[in-house]
Structure 1
Amino acid sequence: MDTIIQPITTKAKRGPYRQHSDEFKRAAVARTLVAGASVSLIARELKINTNQLFSWRKRFGAETPVDGNALGRLMAVTVVDTPLAPAPVASAPPGVIVLSVGQAQLRLEGQVDAATLTLLLARLLP
């Protein structure tokens, strides 16, 4: 009678999950946003999974500055339903104002009153 002896192997239990601080995550995301950076190489250097770094980019990428401009900055807008009134006769010829802040661009056509322009500039410019 032959006896086949095979060692019994059990999988080792997985260790505890690593916890990374938000500062570490933001720093890792900032490294990936540099032109020509490889997310895979950065993840390998930091000893984290590439998919984890991509999920951090979704979470923190919008608030990380690129070239000094903050991305994803939102501005409150209120839409008011007002009845249409006849347009006042403009004494000055209509013009076009184009305001560029970072990658955002605001184009105002026609006559713009000073109060509205002041409010827009106060909201858009830091």
Structure 2
Amino acid sequence: MDTIIQAVTTRAKRGPYRRHSDEFKRAAVARTLVAGASVSLIARELKINANQLFSWRKRFAGEVPAGGNAPSQLVAVTVLDTPRAPAPAPAASVPPGVIVLSVGQAQLRLEGQVDAITLALLLARLLP
């Protein structure tokens, strides 16, 4: 008769679930909305799983303001059709090989050889 003896292993019982108040959850979510904040680092500090914190962010989306102020609200905007003033002509003293672009209060002056990709990125940012 063969007998196989193996140790009987049982899993350790899991502790009770932690229950967090809505105030704690909103405060945790507010910390993640600050510019440059890392959700995983904040979750580690609070001793919670980062996935749990991400689910709280979805749950409380729109409720928790990013700056700790009142929630953002839409503001009424009226667009008036007004003629634009002509752009001022570049100064006559601009030497050849110089690009001067004026948009509103901003002025961009490029001298020398300009990289086409960089120029395209700048124009995309400045022009509507």
Given the two structures, how large is their TM-score scaled by the length of structure 2? Answer: 0.52
Deviation at 1:39, TM superposition (A): 0.2
- Matched residue, 2:71: 70
Moved over 3 A (4+): 1-5
* 1:1-126 equivalences in 2 (<5 Å): 4-67=4-67, 68-71=69-72, 73=73, 104-109=74-79
SS in 2 for 1:61: coil
SS in 2 for 1:12: coil
* Root-mean-square deviation (Å): 2.2
Q: Which amino acid aligns with 1:54?
A: F
Q: Which of the pair has more CA radius of gyration?
A: 2
Deviation at 1:48, TM superposition (A): 0.6
Give the whole-Å Cα distance in 2 for the aligned partners of 1:3 and 1:41.
52
Deviation at 1:66, TM superposition (A): 2.1
SS in 2 for 1:63: coil
SS in 1 for 2:62: helix
Deviation at 1:14, TM superposition (A): 1.7
Deviations 1:72-111 (A, max 9, x none): x5xxxxxxxxxxxxxxxxxxxxxxxxxxxxxx3422357x
Deviation at 1:63, TM superposition (A): 1.2
**Number of aligned pairs?**
79
Identity %: 72
Q: Which amino acid aligns with 1:107?
A: V
